[in-house]
Structure 1
């Protein structure tokens, strides 16, 4: 009789324990899969009694080889259900280990599963197209749609190359144009005048800078190496070249020879002479464009 009471008491404890404890169940739809075939695993926990469930985050429940496609979680006050759809893209045997779910202070675990993944395609199998290949004729519009970006890129590149060439060509021409050279030299002459060498009677410094400015101008404007030639050689070259007009040649000859005499202290020009030489060089610079116009006409003829 006592033994029977003990058995009944034990059964009561078991029934009461099950009545207030959570029950976890899991089910794997297929144990053998083809490569890439979709499988499904369902995990359920009943009798939650409004307790929260802590588990791995969504799409992170299964191990590395299992590619999760969908991971849906359904939960209410008394139950928890999680359905994971997955595929495996490698052949072999793979294990889904015990998966842990924490309910309150209690940890529940699923049973492990072994999954075999096989390649259903056999060597030598004939692969047939679903439908026969068709020959499609393309017209100009179709070819344009296919290659338009390549054509536009090629045209853009050609346009860029032409633009660079034109910029270099015309930009260089503008920088070396007679007007630019003339204006630059006139500015240099004005800077020389502001130094007041004429008023101070500093004829040596005046002629050194005046002739240096003139030589640089002749080199740029007429493309004659005036900056490296001696005065005698420069005058001779100008007469042979016929690029510079006779009036301008006379100005250069007079001023340059006087400058050489001043340099070697063989003459001492007065203020009036220095003023005249300055004005003559300035007028020569202004008239130089006419020399170039005449030269261009002569070349055209």
Structure 2
């Protein structure tokens, strides 16, 4: 019987000797608003085991504002110290917190903290000294508002630069050279559709005249996109911007296009090819018409 008692005591002491001891401590259970409290967790007899807990600054609950969270770990000792503040009156709880030591999970004991407002009703709060009126000069106002002023000036400069870039891009896009090149590209796309080779004269003249009308409208500032063929011919002659050679080409192709549209004529491939080349040459020669107009008007 004595041997059993001694064996039990020896086993108990062995467990105590080789087990970890988790302890926690709260320095104050009553705090004033904003007063710093200290919460400590200690683990002894660590035997080199790893300790896992909540990340730094996240150990305590929501109302506990962490001021400092420090961890110290040695071979046989672990200590975590959290300094905190609470900015609301009432009672708040630090719950049992989990600490994993090696493969074992341990829990601290919970604490209740009471936060009170130490200011008494009716207490008079006096300034240390009366407010002093300070006069500001131009330099002082500049120091106060210079970044706002520089920001506004930078924004205005940026708007001005963007506006000029857009204006230049629009002007360049609508320039005679750009318009000529774009129309030549449109004519090349029309040629690749092989309307001429396939004998599809109706679609050929519809697209050829649309391209031509759009070109005349933008290049010569004549509303060819809304005028009937007869009216357009009259306007071109009165306007006197397009050379007689180019006027004749436009008149012949547009009249033939109207006849094709109403099925009054059926042009062959040779005629379609000639009309295509005539319009293409007209587009290329348009710059000479504009140069002549500038000389005539003195622009």
* TM-score after normalising by structure 1: 0.58
1:197-229 Cα offsets, whole Å, 9 max, x none, are 5xx8x6956983655543343233223333454
CA distance in 2 between counterparts of 1:270 and 1:85 reads 95
Structure 1 counterpart of 2:3: none
Q: How far apart, in 2, do the equivalents of 1:286 and 1:85 lie?
A: 84
Partner Cα distance (1:216, 1:253) in 2:
15
Deviations 1:124-183 (Å, cap 9, x if unpaired)? 322222344344455555544433443343234323433443333322222222112222
Aligned match of 1:224 in 219, 222, 225?
A: 222
Gapped regions of structure 1 (runs ≥ 5): 1-12
2:40 & 2:177 partners in 1: Cα distance? Answer: 90
| Pair 109,172 (structure 1): closer, same or farther in 2 beyond 3 Å | closer
CA contact (8 A) 2:195 2:201 kept: no
* 1:259-290 C-alpha deviation (Å, 9 max, x unpaired): 6567765697895x877766654443233223
Contact 2:180 2:284 in 1 (8 A): yes
Number of the residue aligned with 1:154: 152
| 1:118 and 2:116 aligned | yes
Query: Contact conserved, 1:178 with 1:221, CA < 8 A, in 2?
Result: yes
**What's the counterpart of residue 240 of structure 1?**
238
Q: Identify the residue that residue 208 of structure 1 maps to in structure 2.
A: 205
Asked whether the equivalents of residues 186 and 285 of structure 1 are also in contact (C-alpha less than 8 Å), the reply is yes
**C-alpha contact (below 8 Å) 2:202/2:260 kept by paired residues:** no
After superposition, the C-alpha distances for 1:22-71 in whole angstroms (9 at most, x for unaligned) are: 999998766654322345578999xx7x5669997787887766656556
Residue matched to 1:290:
288
The answer to whether the 8 A contact 1:73-1:80 is kept is: yes
| Residue of structure 1 equivalent to 2:247 | 249
Instruction: Quote the Cα distance in structure 2 between the aligned partners of 1:207 and 1:41.
Output: 90
Q: Is the 8 A contact 1:203 1:268 kept in 2?
A: no
Query: Are the structure 2 counterparts of residues 39 and 168 from structure 1 closer, same or farther at C-alpha, using a change threshold of 3 Å?
Result: closer
- In the alignment, the residues of structure 2 paired with residue 275 and residue 96 of structure 1 have an alpha-carbon distance, to the nearest angstrom, of 93
Deviations 1:216-262 (A, max 9, x none): 43233223333454432221121222332334323433454456567
The DSSP-based 3-state class of the residue aligned with 1:215 is: helix
Rounded Cα–Cα distance in structure 2 between residues aligned with 1:244 and 1:181: 16
Cross-structure match for 2:181: 183
Larger mean Cα displacement after TM superposition, 252-261 or 56-65: 56-65
Whose Rg is larger?
Answer: 1
Question: 1:100 and 1:155, CA in 2 relative to 1: closer, same or farther beyond 3 A?
Answer: closer
Q: How many residues align?
A: 275
* Distance in 2 between residues matched to 1:28 and 1:298, nearest whole Å: 99
